[in-house]
Amino acid sequence: MLNYHSGCEAAAFGAWEAGVKMLYSYPGSPVTEIVEVMQRLPQVKSCWATNEKVAMEMAAGSCHSGARTLVVMKHVGLNVAADPFFNLAYTGVVGGLVVVVGDDPGARNSQNEQDTRLLCLAAGVPVLEPATVQEVQALTRLAFELSEQFDLPVVLRLTSRLCYSKDKLERQDRQPQDHIGSFASPIQKYLLLPAFVPGCHERRNHNLQALAQSQIADKLCVRTLPDKLQSRYPLGIISSGFPSGVVQELLGQDLPLLQLQLVYPLPQQQIRAFAALCERILVAEESSGYLDQQVRSLGIATLDKPDYDGVGEFSLQTLRSEQAPELDSFIRATMPATIDIRWLDNLPPRLPGFCGGCPHTGIFQILRQRELYVVGDIGCSTLGSLEPFSALHTNLCMGASLGMLQGYLDGLGVQAATECVAVLGDSTFFHSGMTGMMALARQECHGTVIILDNSGSAMTGMQYTSLSLTADKWLALLQSLGVVHCQVLPSLEPAAIERWLDTELARPALSVLVLKGSCVQELNIKDETPFRYTILESVCTSCGDCVKETNCQNFEVTALDQDQAHIAISSSCIGCGLCSQLCPEQAIVPLSVSMLVPATGPLAKPLARVAGKLPWARMIRILNQQPVLAPWLKKLEHRLRALLDRRQQKAAAAAKVDAVQFYPAE
């Protein structure tokens, strides 16, 4: 039965059908879904590794034992895994080893647009590049066979467009694998000592050459000729990957095309044979000029493309060449008609931002108010750079914030320690920040580091790639790395954070603060929910500070006139209580508490003032930490909300309007 599936699902199905036994990965868009799909498939053991290097090293042991193994990571993750990746080409494999790498042309979810093909060229690792979802499935299966036949790891290069595309797929049966595990030998092959390295290098080169000259390589060249056959064509196109599908669909009836599914090593004979059929050759690719350079290295002249610089995703406009003016007519003829979308101009933009109720927004509001220069990292913390916080000023790569902090203080002097902090998440810290922390302690850095702990890799889907530590274990870990001045605080206590910063920014030593707060995506908001909050209109001045300081998506703002707005909190509030602590008028209280405060009358404002002054967020957190009191507190909250709901129904009925059910009946 044919069903629609994405490119990520196709890769997962292809690996499963090939009989893969082990799967290792560190999450990263656009290929995270591959792992999530395979975790639902039987007969495959999967593991979220601490980082990509560890994932590659786990895969090395697995494939050397004879098991077919899959490694999944994004393109910048391959940089982290480069050390074992390069050396695996020397040792070779026993069971097939396939590395699925997700490139990101256009950098929609990444910090660069690097081309994995260039890294594989340097490492001497074969690269397969599918153009369609069906090819993803087929080439993933084939990659394991190539890996075992030619004793090399094989990279399957996917790009964002292909990962998220959908097409019909036909599932196939799983290939049985007679896996009898054993330790790899001889040492001349698997032990990379200087005496053995030249032989390993020579064997790798021989295997690459054998692959390039094999019949399989010839079959991985898909040649398409126009219906009107000619002895020699005026123009031909060589392509690979996602651009091949676009070119094939739009130009395949008019021009001869050669799609290369094996882009390293290149099948030279097939390329030369195709070039002999064409007077001029144009290369279609994205991310870099890798393929164009490789074709030219064979002595084949290719046309210059002045509009192509490797930036962004592929489009037909990048194929324009002054030496192929006839191509312009083909491109114009295949461009879709212009659609009038002026109505979109009236829609407000949906900017990226923290999730509503995220416990880690408060720290960025504090850092902005203090006008500190924030060296950031990779992950959700990068959202602190956006309005209204604007409290993250630079980042580089996973774990780089710690080394960059030391570099800034070395360059500007220790007096800059009072003006600069480093911020990173717990997943990033375990990924590649621990070595940086040890270096800061060893160098006796005077800087300040803030670790945002939500117990997972939240931005990629809350994968558990690292340890979930209690406060005591955090302190023990940091002290073992050489950090003397460290503390763990709840992320939703801005007053305590302010006091800590007052002390530690002035301290001439390394200080580390861990802010613990659970990711809101992990909360079961459909179950018995925590105390949700509301605004007491009798004391609210509509100043908007609650919205500006938290940027919480659960605020609903309705303009009443040019100078005033009505602010309310939606029913999707998860009860973090940050807004109640930041409100200058103390007008935000738990929803159930609001029923004790009259909306009108002489006592409305005085009672609202009294209710607003109580530290509700802190009180609720403390009570919820008591095993005996927490269940009773939830029951009381649930009953108060049910009572409030009934009052609202009566009021709505009296006003002859439909009642709005904010909470389910008990």
Q: State which amino acid sits at residue 144.
A: F
Query: According to the annotation, is 546 in a ligand binding site?
Result: yes
Contact 142, 135 (CB under 8 A): no
At a CB cut-off of 8 Å and minimum separation 6, what does 472 contact?
A: none
d(CA 203, CA 196): 11
Supply angle C-alpha 566, 572, 573, rounded to 5: 75
Query: According to the annotation, is 47 in a ligand binding site?
Result: no
Contact 373, 393 (CB under 8 A): yes
d(CA 249, CA 235): 17
d(CA 344, CA 367): 36
Supply angle C-alpha 19, 22, 28, rounded to 5: 115
d(CA 434, CA 181): 34
- Residues written for the chain: 666
CA distances to 197, 265, 315 from 222, rounded to whole Å, are 37, 16, 21
Beta-ladder partners of 486? 512
Six token digits for residue 97: 């080893």
Q: How many CB atoms lie within 10 A of CB 412?
A: 13
DSSP 522: G
Query: According to the annotation, is 355 in a ligand binding site?
Result: no
Contact 223, 217 (CB under 8 A): no
At a CB cut-off of 8 Å and minimum separation 6, what does 47 contact?
A: 22, 23, 24, 25, 55, 58
d(CA 115, CA 119): 7
Q: How many CB atoms lie within 10 A of CB 473?
A: 12
In the block, tokens 């299966």 appear at 141
Query: According to the annotation, is 380 in a ligand binding site?
Result: no
Supply angle C-alpha 366, 367, 369, rounded to 5: 65
Query: According to the annotation, is 543 in a ligand binding site?
Result: yes
Query: According to the annotation, is 579 in a ligand binding site?
Result: yes
Six token digits for residue 283: 């290369």
d(CA 494, CA 503): 14
d(CA 538, CA 594): 11
Query: According to the annotation, is 445 in a ligand binding site?
Result: no
d(CA 252, CA 392): 48
Contact 554, 357 (CB under 8 A): yes
Six token digits for residue 657: 């309007």
| HEC-encoded secondary structure of 223-239 | EECCCCCCCCECCEEEE
Among 449, 290, 478, 444, residue whose Cα is nearest residue 381: 449
Among 351, 289, 6, residue whose Cα is nearest residue 159: 6
Tell me the binding residues for [4Fe-4S] cluster: 540, 543, 546, 552, 573, 576, 579, 583
* Known binding positions: 540, 543, 546, 552, 573, 576, 579, 583
